[in-house]
Structure 1
Amino acid sequence: MTIPTLHTLPNGVRVVCDPMPGLETLALTVVAGRGAAYEDPARSGWSHLLEHMVFKGAGGRSARDIVEVVEAQGGQINAATGYERTSFQIRALKGGLPLGVEVVADLVRRPTLDAGDLAREKQVVAQEIAEAADAPDDYVFDLLQKGAWGDHPVGRPILGTVDSVEAATPEALSDWRASLYAADRLIVSATGAVEEAELLDLAQKAFGDLPATPGAPVPEPAPFVGGSFAETRKLEQAHLVLMLPAAGSRDDDYFALRVFAEALGGGMSSRLFQEAREKRGLAYNIDAYADTYADIGALGIYAGCAAKDAAQTAQVCAEQLLALVERIDEAELARCKAQLKAHMFMAREQPLARAEQAAGQALTFGRLFSPAELAAGVESVSAADIARLGRRMLDPAKAATAVLGAKSALGAGEIFRRALFGGQ
Structure 2
Amino acid sequence: MTVSTTLHTLENGVRVVHDPMPGLETIALSVVAGRGAAYEDPARSGWSHLLEHMVFKGAGQRSSRDIVEVIEAQGGQINAATGYERTSFQVRALKGGLDLGMAVLSDLVLRPTLDEGDLTREKQVVAQEIAEAADAPDDYVFDLVQAAAWGDHPLARPILGTVDSVNSATVEGLSHWRGQLYAADRLIVSCSGAVALDEVLDLARREFGSMPAASGALASDPASFVGGRRSQARKLEQAHLVFMLPAVSAREDDYFALRIFAEALGGGMSSRLFQEAREKRGLAYNIDAYADTYADAGALGVYAGCAAGDAAETAKVCAEQIVGLAARIDDAELARAKAQLKAHMFMAREQPLSRAEQAAGQALMFNRLYTPAELAEAVDAVSVDDLQRLGRAILGPAKAASAILGAKPALKAGEVFGTALG
TM-score above 0.5: yes
Q: Which amino acid aligns with 1:202?
A: L
The one-character-per-residue Cα deviations of 1:265-317 (angstroms, maximum 9, x if unpaired) are 00000000000000000000000000011111100000000000000000000
Q: Secondary structure at the match of 1:211?
A: coil
Q: Tell me the TM-score normalized by structure 2.
A: 0.99
Aligned-residue sequence identity (percent) comes to 77
Q: Secondary structure at the match of 1:300?
A: strand
Give the Cα–Cα distance (whole angstroms) in 2 for the partners of residues 212 and 279 of structure 1: 57
1:326 CA drift (Å) = 1.0
Give the Cα–Cα distance (whole angstroms) in 2 for the partners of residues 264 and 187 of structure 1: 34
- Give matches, 1:172-191, under 5 Å: 172-191=173-192
Q: Secondary structure at the match of 2:421?
A: helix
Q: Which amino acid aligns with 1:413?
A: G
- Give matches, 1:315-394, under 5 Å: 315-394=316-395
Q: Which amino acid aligns with 2:56?
A: F
The one-character-per-residue Cα deviations of 1:62-119 (angstroms, maximum 9, x if unpaired) are 0000000000000000000000000000000000000000000000000000000000
The corresponding residue for 1:17 is 18
Give the Cα–Cα distance (whole angstroms) in 2 for the partners of residues 213 and 240 of structure 1: 40
Give the Cα–Cα distance (whole angstroms) in 1 for the partners of residues 148 and 9 of structure 2: 39
Contact 2:32 2:87 survives alignment (8 Å): yes
The corresponding residue for 2:45 is 44
Moved over 6 A (4+): none
Contact 2:273 2:318 survives alignment (8 Å): yes
Q: Secondary structure at the match of 1:95?
A: coil
Contact 2:29 2:92 survives alignment (8 Å): yes
Q: Secondary structure at the match of 1:302?
A: strand
Q: Secondary structure at the match of 1:374?
A: helix
Give the Cα–Cα distance (whole angstroms) in 1 for the partners of residues 6 and 383 of structure 2: 32
Give the Cα–Cα distance (whole angstroms) in 2 for the partners of residues 178 and 214 of structure 1: 6
Contact 1:183 1:214 survives alignment (8 Å): no
1:216 CA drift (Å) = 4.1
Give the Cα–Cα distance (whole angstroms) in 2 for the partners of residues 372 and 276 of structure 1: 35
Structure 1 residues 213 and 49: alpha-carbon distance in aligned structure 2, compared to 1, 3 A threshold = closer
Residue 218 of structure 1 pairs with residue 215 of structure 2: no
Total equivalences in the alignment:
421
Gaps of 5+ in 2: none
The one-character-per-residue Cα deviations of 1:347-403 (angstroms, maximum 9, x if unpaired) are 001000000000000000000000000001100111111110000011111000000
The corresponding residue for 1:239 is 240
1:218 CA drift (Å) = 2.4
The corresponding residue for 2:100 is 99
The one-character-per-residue Cα deviations of 1:241-270 (angstroms, maximum 9, x if unpaired) are 000000111011100000000000000000
Q: Which amino acid aligns with 1:374?
A: L
Query: How much is the aligned-residue C-alpha RMSD, in angstroms?
Result: 0.7
Contact 1:17 1:189 survives alignment (8 Å): yes
1:217 CA drift (Å) = 2.4
Contact 1:403 1:409 survives alignment (8 Å): yes
Q: Tell me the TM-score normalized by structure 1.
A: 0.99
Q: Secondary structure at the match of 2:88?
A: strand
Q: Which amino acid aligns with 1:355?
A: A
Give the Cα–Cα distance (whole angstroms) in 2 for the partners of residues 230 and 97 of structure 1: 48
Give the Cα–Cα distance (whole angstroms) in 2 for the partners of residues 173 and 156 of structure 1: 19
Contact 1:29 1:89 survives alignment (8 Å): yes
Residue 79 of structure 1 pairs with residue 76 of structure 2: no
Contact 1:248 1:294 survives alignment (8 Å): yes
The corresponding residue for 1:132 is 133
Q: Secondary structure at the match of 1:27?
A: strand
Structure 1 residues 353 and 216: alpha-carbon distance in aligned structure 2, compared to 1, 3 A threshold = farther
Q: Secondary structure at the match of 2:56?
A: helix
1:213 CA drift (Å) = 4.0
Contact 1:148 1:224 survives alignment (8 Å): yes
Give the Cα–Cα distance (whole angstroms) in 2 for the partners of residues 224 and 377 of structure 1: 26
Q: Secondary structure at the match of 2:18?
A: strand
The corresponding residue for 1:263 is 264
1:151 CA drift (Å) = 1.1
Q: Which amino acid aligns with 1:89?
A: Q
Q: Secondary structure at the match of 2:296?
A: coil
1:212 CA drift (Å) = 3.0
Contact 2:55 2:113 survives alignment (8 Å): yes
Q: Which amino acid aligns with 1:263?
A: A
Give the Cα–Cα distance (whole angstroms) in 2 for the partners of residues 117 and 211 of structure 1: 26
Give the Cα–Cα distance (whole angstroms) in 1 for the partners of residues 216 and 259 of structure 2: 32
The one-character-per-residue Cα deviations of 1:116-171 (angstroms, maximum 9, x if unpaired) are 00000000000000000010001100000000101111110000000000011111
Give the Cα–Cα distance (whole angstroms) in 2 for the partners of residues 43 and 114 of structure 1: 19
1:215 CA drift (Å) = 4.9
Contact 1:182 1:215 survives alignment (8 Å): no
Q: Secondary structure at the match of 1:29?
A: strand
Gaps of 5+ in 1: none
The corresponding residue for 2:231 is 230
